[in-house]
Amino acid sequence: DGLPPAERIIMAAIAEAEQDTLSVDDVVEILNSRGVQMFVGELEVAPKTLVNWGVLQQTDGGYRVAVPLLRYWVQKNKPLRQTKDEIDKIEPLAMQLFKTGQGFLSQNRYSESEGHFRQALEQNPNHFQAKASLGFVLLEQGKMEEAIQVLEEAYASDPTPATRAHLIRALLATAAQQTTEDEKLNRYEQILAIMPTHSAARAGKQAIETARRQREQKRLAAQAEEYESSQSWLQAAKLYRELVERFPDGAWQEKLSFTESQRQEQWLAQQEALFNKHKAAEDWAEAKAISEKILQKFPENEQWQTWQEDVVNQTALKQKYEEALAAFDQNDLNTAQQLLTDIIRQQPDYKEALNYLVRAINKVDVPALQKEIAKLRDQTETAAASRQRTMVYGSIIIIIIIITGFFVGGLLGWMMSGTGNDRCLFARWQFTSRSRQYRYLPL
């Protein structure tokens, strides 16, 4: 207690440090962190004085407390945060100006007290009481922004209840004057950083956040409804899902369920159109890929199950038909007959399967036969004798009878080997001389 103010401050700073030995720069850093600024002369003289008195020891790295027990006592009983009165007394003139300002303040003469407090701080920038008093005077005069700045500095250096109350009052007053939500919210957050339980600041912050949430909810809902009206179900569902997650208290789940259902139907319609496109082009591999994709998502969809079965059948028919044509071209008529018979039993009107089957069974080139008949007819017309004409016509009739018998006999024999349904199916086909093909006649 017998140390001068400057020496007390230096001793408290060194005792508060974690390391045993401190340089002058280390001492300055500790003082600055507490909002204490000492003059160069004081920083040079005070440590040396303490060394001369045997309180400190000077080493190559700086200074350390001579007696460890003394350091512990200073830490416990005279910490740096409690030396503000000593700092205020470092400069006597500053202390005198402060007391004069206090006299004017007691008379509510704010202008005069402001001037004296400012002069005191010019003499001693670390004068805690002068800084706190200046902030209060500025607050009373309505100089809010400057009052906040001064009070924040005072509270950082000396967080007394009085300084905190004045700072909160200034921040709350300016919050009401702000024109934007961001500025108001910033003030409320400053107050809550000082006093987390401040009811007015909490209420103000909550009101701003609630208003923002309501506006954001309305914005998302309007955008979702716009997508919904244009049947952009994917985008609408995405926004409704966000609304459900961010605003669970709203009635958005029902809207989400509806748009998800519509999106599913729209997607299925698109897939169906693409499926039909590949089906029309007989691109069965792509059609199968689409049906498999659908059934992976909707395995209970009976319509798509039926369509997939049809795709599988058509794929098998296509392969079997290509194999039958290859066998026919290689004159492997037995294989061709077997494959074409299987095809017709599954789908009687499949491409040219029946025409190729007839040709394979009878080994007859129907177009060549028609040409031969026409040639004989021309010969009969040029014959002069009726006997020759009769003979020619007879020849034609005999040829037709033989060929027809061979054809009908072979075909009927094949059909008799099948079922009753096969014979009925055959009765629905007729050979046309114009197209030189068998055409399918619905019964």
CATH number at residue 155: 1.25.40.10
pTM above 0.75, yes or no: no
Q: Among 88, 107, 142, identify where a domain stops.
A: 88
Number of alpha carbons in the 13 Å side-chain half-sphere of residue 56 = 29
Q: Among 44, 66, 88, identify where a domain stops.
A: 88
Work out how many domains the chain is built from and give that number.
3
191/263 same-domain check: no
* CB-count exposure of residue 148 (10 Å: 0-12, 13-18, 19+): buried
- Cβ neighbours, 10 Å, residue 409: 11
Is 319 inside a domain boundary? no
Residue at token pair 């025409």: 355
Is 162 inside a domain boundary? yes
Looking at residue 393, its pLDDT comes to 44
Q: Among 163, 196, 229, identify where a domain stops.
A: 196
CATH number at residue 72: 1.10.10.10
Give residues with Cβ within 8 angstroms of 75, minimum separation 6.
15, 16
190/140 same-domain check: yes
Is 306 inside a domain boundary? no
233/183 same-domain check: no
Number of alpha carbons in the 13 Å side-chain half-sphere of residue 58 = 10
- Structural domain span for residue 184: 92-196
DSSP helix/strand/coil, 430: strand
Is 429 inside a domain boundary? no
> What does the alpha-carbon distance between residue 165 and residue 143 come to, in Å, rounded to a whole number?
16
61/150 same-domain check: no
- Cβ neighbours, 10 Å, residue 197: 7
Is 294 inside a domain boundary? no
Per-residue pLDDT tens over the stretch 348-359: 888 888 888 888
Is 419 inside a domain boundary? no
270/176 same-domain check: no
240/157 same-domain check: no
Is 333 inside a domain boundary? no
Axis-axis angle for helices 253-280, 233-246 (nearest 10) = 150
Looking at residue 384, its pLDDT comes to 44
83/100 same-domain check: no
Which residue ranges in the chain fall short of pLDDT 50?
A: 40, 383-385, 389-390, 392-394, 397-398, 400-401, 404, 406-409, 411-443
Looking at residue 231, its pLDDT comes to 83
Looking at residue 392, its pLDDT comes to 47
Bridge partners of 59, per DSSP, are 62
Looking at residue 193, its pLDDT comes to 93
81/106 same-domain check: no
Backbone angles phi, psi at 63, to 5 degrees: -130, 150
Contact indicator for 278, 286 with CB cutoff of 8 Å = yes
156/107 same-domain check: yes
100/183 same-domain check: yes
Looking at residue 334, its pLDDT comes to 87
Is 297 inside a domain boundary? no
232/165 same-domain check: no
21/79 same-domain check: yes
Bridge partners of 62, per DSSP, are 59
Looking at residue 83, its pLDDT comes to 65
Looking at residue 403, its pLDDT comes to 53
> What does the alpha-carbon distance between residue 430 and residue 443 come to, in Å, rounded to a whole number?
12
